Amino acid sequence: MIQNQHVSLAFYFSTLVSICWASCQQEGHLISNARLIRSSFHILSTPGINSCVANCQMHGLCKSFSYHILSHVCYLNYVDTNSSSTTMRSEDGYVSSDISTWSKRLDGPCSAVTCDVHDRCTVDRTGVAACSPVSINGDHPYILVLNESVWDTARLNCMSSFGGHLAIVDSIDKINFLTALINAAGEFYDTKFHIGASDIQEEGSWRWVDESPLSFTLWFPGQPTDFAGHDCLMWKFGRKWRNRPCTEKYFSICERSS
């Protein structure tokens, strides 16, 4: 039975590649039976390879994609297949490709729009394309503030400059997305970021800026400590969270309000 499934998959894949040769292969170079792992910032279902390509092209963050032929699952990656940080794994039924090898015309109105790393191209009801902030699963978009400030100044800057607040990072999905976003923005390993949690109001009672408790945490072992004045949460990127004095100056991550 397993052998028959392998034969069927091989036949299906070879048939698809043959059909795709006149369209897909002319648009961009496909790497067969290979998938990029630990590099995706978004996973979605699409009806075909071209739709996966279009979704990648609409994200300023996307550099490549991996697509599973049978399940129609599309992985959008923040690195390309030639990156030194890329891990390519042989897996039957997958195709991968760098988005730079594909024609922008696949996007329709978005073909004339180039978005930066924080944005995604969207098309309104009238057919007008524009860049919009990247969001995850309908949640609020994030902004990296790459100048150092104390925690309270960072909090006020998120309010005045972006109409939002310091980032509420309350799930592993948000950690993964922010990791992809920061990786795509530059070399920030071990860089320290303010995010929106503190126990300023009550020692030992850690809360986000919207007053919700920390149901999800990514504390470094032994953290948080009960040292006096260590009341603000700091994320050492690539590692975990620590509680540090609110007067220390770090970069910050803002989150726009809806």
| Domain locations in the chain as residue ranges | 2-133, 142-256
Q: What is the pLDDT of residues 151-187, one digit of tens each?
A: 999 999 999 988 899 999 998 878 877 887 787 666 7
Residues 6+ apart with CB under 8 A from 239: 190, 220
Return the CATH superfamily for domain 142-256.
Mannose-Binding Protein A, subunit A (3.10.100.10)
Q: What is the pLDDT of residue 183?
A: 73
Q: What is the pLDDT of residue 133?
A: 64
Cis status of the peptide bond prior to 47, with omega within 30 of 0: no
Tell me what the pLDDT averaged over the chain comes to: 81
Q: Is the pLDDT of residue 127 over 80?
A: yes
Q: Is the pLDDT of residue 24 over 80?
A: no
> Which band of pLDDT confidence, cut at 50, 70 and 90, is reported for residue 114?
confident
State the fold for domain 2-133: Hepatocyte Growth Factor (3.50.4)
Q: Is the pLDDT of residue 203 over 70?
A: yes
Least confident of 17-26, 45-54, 159-168: 17-26
Q: What is the pLDDT of residue 15?
A: 38
Q: Is the pLDDT of residue 232 over 60?
A: yes
When pLDDT is averaged across residues 233-258 and rounded to a whole number, the result is: 92
Q: What is the pLDDT of residue 185?
A: 67
Q: What is the pLDDT of residue 237?
A: 92
Decide if 196 contacts 254 (C-beta within 8 A): no
pTM, two decimals, is 0.52
When pLDDT is averaged across residues 12-40 and rounded to a whole number, the result is: 62
Q: What is the pLDDT of residues 61-112, one digit of tens each?
A: 788 999 999 999 998 887 888 876 567 899 999 999 999 989 876 767 887 8
Which of the pair, 134 or 40, is modelled with greater confidence?
40
Tell me which residue of 140, 161, 144 sits closest to 235, measured CA to CA.
Answer: 144
Which of the pair, 194 or 81, is modelled with greater confidence?
194
